[in-house]
């Protein structure tokens, strides 16, 4: 059973994207990657459900391989 919600679910998605991009401004590639890693861990902790997290990892890996 899929528990991962992949439907649009972010209020003001454009505003969130702009904030995300702005957070990375003026960071080196290394600092930007570290920020992304911290963000992933914070959000994973917030989600907490291992099955949902596994589904998210699988979905992200499939998307990365498709490129």
5-41 pLDDT per residue, tens: 999 999 999 999 999 999 999 999 999 999 999 999 9
Provide the angle, in degrees to the nearest 10, between the axes of the packed helices 29-47 and 50-65: 140
pTM: 0.86
Q: Is 55 exposed, middle or buried (0-12, 13-18, 19+ CB in 10 A)?
A: middle
pLDDT at 1 over 90: no
The three-point CA angle 34-38-65 to 5° equals 75
């Amino acid at each position: 059973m899929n528990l991962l919600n992949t439907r649009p679910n972010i209020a003001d998605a454009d505003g969130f994207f702009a904030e995300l991009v702005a957070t990375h401004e003026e960071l080196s590639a290394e600092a930007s990657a570290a920020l992304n890693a911290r963000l992933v861990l914070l959000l994973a902790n917030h989600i907490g459900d291992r099955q949902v997290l596994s589904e998210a990892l699988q979905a992200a890996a499939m998307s990365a391989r498709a490129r």
